[in-house]
Amino acid sequence: MVKNVVISGSDAIAEAVKLCKPKVCPMYPITPSTLVPEKISEFINDGVLEAEMINVESEHSAASALFGAYAIGVRAFTASASNGIALMHEILPIISASRFPAVMSVANRTISGPINIWNDHSDAMSERDQGWIQMYCESSQEAFDTIIMAYKIAEKENVSLPIMVCIDGFSLSHVYEPVQIEDQKKVDAFLPKYNPKNILDIKNPKTFGPIAFPNSFFEFHEQEQLAMKEALKEIPLAHTEFASMFGRKYGNGLIELIEMKDAEYALIANGTSVGTTRVVVEELRKEGKKVGLIKLKTFRPFPKEEIINSCKNLKAVGIIDRHVSLGSEGAITLDVKAALKDEKVRVEGFISGLGGRDIDKTRIKKAFEILEKGGKGIWLK
Amino acid sequence: MIFMVELKFNKGAIIHDAGSTKNYKTGDWRTFKPSIDKSKCIKCGKCWMNCPDGAIRKTKDGFFEINYDYCKGCLICEKMCPVKAISHEVEEK
């Protein structure tokens, strides 16, 4: 039965996970991700989700147990944030190299120090090279929908890569919004049973996670890169299927274009800052300014072609990065610059919202103003 | 370098055949190749006891032999031999 409720982004994720029916949930609480394991443990306790909740002693163990669950061939889920993701760092590339289609929710929080519990994207961005697909969400409904899509995409035979579903800590994880919770039968029809070919089985023994010498490691990494390319095709396909079944869509699943048809200046944003930028674009349009917005829903694999096609005719494009690669630039800025290297469009990076600093309309307007005046990207403090 | 009999790049680096470790011959990591001179050997077994890789075997006649499929040439056996019955040469590859 379809239910319309007002719940937090975290609860929306938990509700979606329940519908995807994972068998194992190894989780360790950390602010602001804690609401997710809390809600899921409630579901398990109440008997509405038949899964094993493992109260692990750390995020390193949570990721390791996630690996173990996939090795025995069941769907699994974990959630974390910030330093929890950092503690998982060692295991994340092992899960992706084993091509396990795990799904993890990330309530984006900065990585300390100084100690800070608030939102920016430095936790997920620091893991961008570990073979995990990364999808960012703007609303609780999108978080709900993205979890269901994530299992579908990850489990595609030609993808077989794990996915992080990222929601902004507090500004989405703790914000209550109306969410439509879908019917179990409909979700089952969209997401078939997980039925992996290779599992740990004493009757048919196989080796998982073996050593790869210099004569083979390279090839395994190349396979992961090719799978990322496949994901660029499979994400829009899964997204279209989702849209036709559930009636909601987010661009093409990779990016969404807002007022981009005749735009001269545009901003690229991800996560909740997209919502604020939507409002600013609407306001500036009323003033007659030709501005637009590109929502970067999927950051890994990076939708290079989509970025080129949507930016090549602009005068300038700016990026709202909620993370900085210290000593260089924002992670998204670097990728956009690389994608647009043969185009005439000017690219400016704006570092914003670090450690939970608000990205408000004034700051977004400032970025548009700088773009129009031909200025350089700044730190939007 | 040949570490595997046949290279297979299975998805996820999963090895589908059980017991495949026996196909790994690690002896080609070796630079120094030790050998035992039976005419000097007193069958004390110190080389056999001290080999860190279990690459020395006791034979029926009480002497010892080196399994070059796994000997990595550390030369601990040569160092431990009380009668200098073990010597080595540099292996050309």
Comparing CA positions, the residue from A231, A96, A95 lying closest to residue A156 is A231
Mean pLDDT on B64-74: 96
Q: Model's pTM, two decimal places?
A: 0.92
Residue type (1 letter), A345 = V
How many A-B residue pairs are in contact by the CB < 8 A criterion? 45
With a pLDDT cut of 90, the percent of chain A lying above it is 98
pLDDT in tens, A230-259: 999 999 999 999 999 999 999 999 999 999
Distance, CA of A226 to CA of A197 (rounded, Å): 20
User: Are B58 and B32 in contact, with CB atoms under 8 Å apart?
Assistant: no
pLDDT reading at A1 higher than 90: no
Q: How far is A26 from chain B (nearest CA, A)?
A: 22
pLDDT reading at B3 higher than 60: no
User: Are B41 and B63 in contact, with CB atoms under 8 Å apart?
Assistant: yes
Using a CB-CB distance cutoff of 8 angstroms, which residues of chain A are in contact with residue B9?
216, 219-220, 223
Q: How far is B82 from chain A (nearest CA, A)?
A: 38
Comparing CA positions, the residue from B32, B26, B5, B23 lying closest to residue B70 is B26
Domains parsed from chain A with CATH numbers: 3-246 (3.40.50.970), 255-380 (3.40.50.920)
Comparing CA positions, the residue from A127, A137, A299 lying closest to residue A228 is A299
Domains parsed from chain B with CATH numbers: 34-93 (3.30.70.20)
In this prediction, residue B6 carries a pLDDT of 60
Q: Which residues of A touch B (CB under 8 A)?
A: 97-100, 160, 198, 205-210, 212-216, 219-220, 223
Closest residue in B to A158 (Cα–Cα): B11
Q: How far is B14 from chain A (nearest CA, A)?
A: 5
pLDDT reading at A197 higher than 80: yes
Would you place residue B28 in the very low, low, confident or very high pLDDT band (cuts 50, 70, 90)? confident
Using a CB-CB distance cutoff of 8 angstroms, which residues of chain B are in contact with residue A210?
13, 15
Q: Is the ipTM reported for this complex over the cut 0.90?
A: no
pLDDT reading at B2 higher than 70: no
Strand residues in chain A grouped as ranges (E):
3-8, 24-27, 52-55, 77-80, 103-108, 133-136, 163-168, 176-181, 255-258, 265-269, 291-296, 298-300, 316-321, 346-352, 379-380
